[in-house]
Amino acid sequence: MVSVIFLAAFSLLFLPLTIYAEIICEGAYGGHLQGVAFEPNKAVYWSFTVALVKTDLDGRMLKRIDVPSHHGDLTYQHGKLYVAVNLGAFNREPGYADSWVYVYDAADLTFLSRYKVPEVVHGAGGMTFCDGHFYIVGGLPKGYKENYVYEYDAGFTFVRCHVIASGFTLMGIQTVEYHNGFFWFGCYGKPDNNPLMVTDKTFQIVATSETDFSVGIAGMTGLTFLRGVTKQDEATKMWTGSVERMKTDNAPAKGAILVFTKEM
């Protein structure tokens, strides 16, 4: 009996870790949650506008650093964090933004390098990675009827600008994730759009959802995602963040409206 129990316990050490239905990030921060990234079976990374945070899968803080405002949505790739950063004004006509990508070592959040991305003329706000290239999204002034996705190679040489026929979305696109063969774009959704847009690789909209992923979206397996949530304490004015595991049973298809439910 003892040997059976020992073997069962030993085998558990080699099972993949399970992401809880909700992870609450330890600590409070001077800016709201801008985006999250997931390192499978190891860590969650959080961008709080003026701070980057690394936690374990229980939400316990492993590392925190202060960063220039405004650090936006981020992506994890091959041991590094890439963060869309705007040091200028958002949602303005060209000439006011100061758009960058900041790169950090995921192990301890050491700053490694930064790349200027001036093509993101309305302010860099989020980014993802697909097939060896980076894709950056950002702000949008009033009066525009489409959103823009800026493609860069692995060394951040500009490749091209893609257009999404989305109609106007308030402050453009906030978060982005390439996952399961599609691009998933989190927006505020106002005034008359669903807050989640899903496109194919040609940036044609194939589905939308009423679920709000505007402060964090990270793909896991299949049609399961981590959805960012942020709240401000009225007394301290500090912000907290969490993620909840969300799943849709419907694969993106032309004209589909995806329904997400929280996994328990």
d(C-alpha 256, C-alpha 175), whole Å: 20
pLDDT value at residue 264: 81
For residue 129, list its beta bridge partners: 134
pLDDT value at residue 4: 35
pLDDT value at residue 19: 65
Q: How does residue 83 score in pLDDT terms, banded at 50, 70 and 90?
A: very high
Closest CA to 68 of 84, 50, 86: 50
d(C-alpha 170, C-alpha 189), whole Å: 7
Each residue of 179-193: pLDDT tens digit? 999 999 999 987 778
Q: Which of helix, strand or coil describes residue 240?
A: strand
pLDDT value at residue 241: 98
Token pair for 191: 């005034």
The residues spanned by each domain of the chain are 18-262
Residues 36, 46 contacting (CB under 8 angstroms): yes
In percent, the amount of the chain with pLDDT more than 90 equals: 89
The answer to whether residue 17 scores a pLDDT higher than 50 is no
Residues 184, 196 contacting (CB under 8 angstroms): yes
Token pair for 236: 């301290």
Q: How does residue 18 score in pLDDT terms, banded at 50, 70 and 90?
A: low
Residues 158, 106 contacting (CB under 8 angstroms): no
The answer to whether residue 164 scores a pLDDT higher than 50 is yes
Q: How does residue 227 score in pLDDT terms, banded at 50, 70 and 90?
A: very high
Alpha-carbon torsion (163, 169, 173, 175), positive or negative: negative
d(C-alpha 45, C-alpha 254), whole Å: 32
pLDDT value at residue 9: 37
d(C-alpha 167, C-alpha 170), whole Å: 10
Model-level pTM greater than 0.75?
yes
Closest CA to 135 of 106, 177, 98, 171: 177
pLDDT value at residue 221: 93
Q: pLDDT higher for 20 or 19? A: 20
pLDDT value at residue 189: 84
Is the CATH number 1.25.40.20 carried by domain 18-262? no
Q: Across the chain, what does the average pLDDT equal? A: 93
The answer to whether residue 12 scores a pLDDT higher than 50 is no
Q: How many CA atoms lie within 13 A of 52 on its CB side?
A: 29
- Phi first, then psi: give them for residue 196, nearest 5 degrees: -115, 125
Mean pLDDT across 50-64:
98
Mean pLDDT across 183-206:
94
Tokens 């849709």, residue located: 248
Mean pLDDT lowest for which of 5-9, 137-141, 142-146, 259-263? Answer: 5-9
3-class DSSP string for 21-77? CEEECCCCECCCCCEEEEECCCEEEEECEEEEEEECCCCCEEEEEEEEEEEEEEEEE
Q: How does residue 15 score in pLDDT terms, banded at 50, 70 and 90?
A: very low
Closest CA to 146 of 193, 100, 83, 182: 193
Residues 83, 52 contacting (CB under 8 angstroms): yes
